[in-house]
């Protein structure tokens, strides 16, 4: 018998021993342990399937509710342009004397009301922001206005209307926000008085 054949014979029992050990481990498990292990695997699989079902249901619901989100967002430009058209007609000096001007404006207002009605049916509403505390989740500050009569950070001017689609922000309101008047320091006030006196002397 050659050396290589002897080695193979020596290795065979080792490999067989390893296989037998793994079989022994499986055989060592009681039927209760095997059942428990199988139940755990089954429960994990069922939990994963339930999570996937919920995810799918949520995505389907969002697609149904917000499927027209981009279309609605772009349609807001129609409302903006209608408002601009009305303002343009009202401020045009040449048209002010025209007897039919009010009829034209009334016609445009009817179109605007219809569009707003369609928006409301689809869960799109304007954001009420005047005299509300500035909220970066719904408002975008375009300018600050000095006002000591109102609390700083109060919205007092609406530059462009904002809109919500159900619970989702469609477009933020562009607003003007109050700030406290800056009080001049004593030094600056003294300098102002000096310049005033110097001006009077001249």
Q: Could you read off the pLDDT of 64-101 as tens digits, one per residue? A: 666 678 888 888 999 999 999 999 888 888 887 788 88
Greatest Cα-to-Cα distance within the chain, rounded to the nearest angstrom: 130
Q: Which CATH class is domain 126-202?
A: mainly beta
Token readout for 98 is 């025209």
Q: Where are the domains of the chain?
A: 3-62, 68-122, 126-202
Q: What is the DSSP string of 103-136?
A: HHHHHHHHHHHHHHHHHHHTTEEE---TTSBP-T
Q: Determine the Cα–Cα distance for residues 164 and 137; give it in Å rounded to an integer.
A: 11
Q: Are 155 and 136 in contact (CB under 8 A)?
A: no
Radius of gyration of the chain (CA): 38
Question: What is the tens place of the pLDDT at every residue in 141-187?
Answer: 999 988 888 888 899 999 999 999 888 899 999 999 998 877 554 55
């Amino acid at each position: 018998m050659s050396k290589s054949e002897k080695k193979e014979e020596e290795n065979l029992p080792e490999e067989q021993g390893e296989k037998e050990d793994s079989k022994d481990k499986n055989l060592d498990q009681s039927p209760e342990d095997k059942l428990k292990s199988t139940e755990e695997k089954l429960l994990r699989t069922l939990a994963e399937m339930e999570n996937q079902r919920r995810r799918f249901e949520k995505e389907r619901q969002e697609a149904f509710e917000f499927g027209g989100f981009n279309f609605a967002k772009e349609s807001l430009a129609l409302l903006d342009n209608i408002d601009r058209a009305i303002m343009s007609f009202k401020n045009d000096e040449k048209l002010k004397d025209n007897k039919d001007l009010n009829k034209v404006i009334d016609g445009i207002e009817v179109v605007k009301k219809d569009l707003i009605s369609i928006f409301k049916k689809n869960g799109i509403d304007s954001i009420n922001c005047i005299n509300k505390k500035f909220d970066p989740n719904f408002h975008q500050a375009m300018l600050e206005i000095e006002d000591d009569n109102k609390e700083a950070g109060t919205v007092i001017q609406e530059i462009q209307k904002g809109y919500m689609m159900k619970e989702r922000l469609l477009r933020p309101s562009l607003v003007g926000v109050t700030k406290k008047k800056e009080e001049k320091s004593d030094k600056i006030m003294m300098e102002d008085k000096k310049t005033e006196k110097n001006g009077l002397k001249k």
